[in-house]
Amino acid sequence: MRTAEWANNTVHSAAQTAGAQDANGDLLAALAGKQASRDRAVAYSTRRVVLTSLGVIEEQRANRRRVRALALATLLVLLLALGPFVWRVTEDLIGGERLADMATQMSLWLCILCPVILAAVLVAGWARSRQ
The parts of the chain modelled with pLDDT lower than 70 are 1-23, 26-36
- For residue 118, give the nearest of 85, 83, 71 by alpha carbon: 71
* pLDDT value of position 57: 93
- Determine the pLDDT at residue 8: 52
Please give the helix or strand (H or E) that residue 29 lies within, else none: helix 2-32
Spatial neighbors of 98 by CB under 8 A, at least 6 apart, are 104
- The answer to whether 104 and 98 have CB atoms below 8 angstroms apart is yes
Share of the chain above pLDDT 70, in %: 73
Backbone angles phi, psi at 96, to 5 degrees: 90, 10
Interatomic CA distance for residues 71 and 67, integer angstroms:
6
pTM of the predicted protein model: 0.46
Residue closest to 108 by CA, chosen among 89, 83, 87? 89
Residue ranges of the domains in the chain? Answer: 35-130
pLDDT at 62: 92
